[in-house]
Amino acid sequence: MIDRNTNVQITDEALAFAKPMLAPVRVLNLYACLGGNRLLWENCEVTAVEWDEELAKLYQERFPNDKVVVADAHQYLLDHYKEFDFIWSSPPCPSHSRLALSNKGRTKSKYPDFKLYEEIVFLQNYFEGKFCVENVIPYYEPLIPAQKRGRHLYWTNFNLPRIDEPKNGIIGNGKDRVEKLSKYHNYDFRKYKGEQPVCKVAANLVHYETGRIIYNTAMNIIQASNVTQNSLFGDGW
């Protein structure tokens, strides 16, 4: 494996050996919802930001060791981005989705929420770590090129590997749909008693396997850089 930043060759075996000696990666998980993306992340200290207090409570129950902040994720990013090694952001998607356009004439028209692009441009230019901004495939041509994986677009500052998302087979409405989403995401969404529709909350989650692959890809780059900087390998590796 080659660290693109240093051009120093680091074997996968050496990196695996060094992982226990490395400090946990500091992660900011914005618009955290119920942490679908976060389920399989390891060796990290996570700060999760969620505006919905009920979702924040359930997230904390699911991940008791994470720091959960009830706040505006968009502003929190601006105020705290320097404190983290890896940032994941999943801004609200309804105003970008193809469903929004298909409902034209039946629901009130809305501007696309371009806070999505504010965060992408900001992270591209200000953040020195690795980041991933996730959203739906929009009804318009994306203003900034992204990497498509499954039903989502990902804006990152590293290359993503191929990701074969499990087929969700989600059809139907109401209780049937919630049950299928619960099985797909390995979480009982009936626990949610907040104001948002349960189906909407469930459909917003990134599958945990996708979250694991993207996180591990970023973490390997971060840890390889840290290993090189700390001279853990020496001449004998």
Query: Per-residue pLDDT averaged across 73-88, rounded?
Result: 98
pLDDT-derived band of residue 6, with 50, 70 and 90 as boundaries? very low
Are residues 20 and 2 in contact, defined by beta-carbon separation less than 8 angstroms?
no
CA gap 209, 213 in Å, rounded: 6
CATH of domain 24-165+207-229: 3.40.50.150
pLDDT tens-digit map of 203-232: 888 999 999 999 999 999 988 877 665 544
Which of 45-49, 113-117, 133-137 has the highest mean predicted lDDT (pLDDT)?
45-49
Asked whether the beta carbons of 25 and 44 are under 8 A apart, the reply is yes
* 202 against 13, higher pLDDT: 202
- pLDDT of residue 10 exceeding 60, the answer is no
Give the whole-angstrom CA distance, residue 152 versus residue 91.
12
- Domain boundaries along the sequence of the chain: 24-165+207-229
- pLDDT score of 111: 86
pTM flag (> 0.85): no
For residue 201, what are the CA distances in angstroms to 21, 62, 72, 149, 189? 38, 15, 17, 20, 8
Q: 36 pLDDT exceeds 60?
A: yes
In this predicted model, what pLDDT tens digit does every residue of 140-173 receive, in sequence order? Answer: 899 999 999 988 999 999 999 999 877 765 555 5
pLDDT of 84-114, one tens digit each?
Answer: 999 999 998 866 776 666 666 577 878 888 9
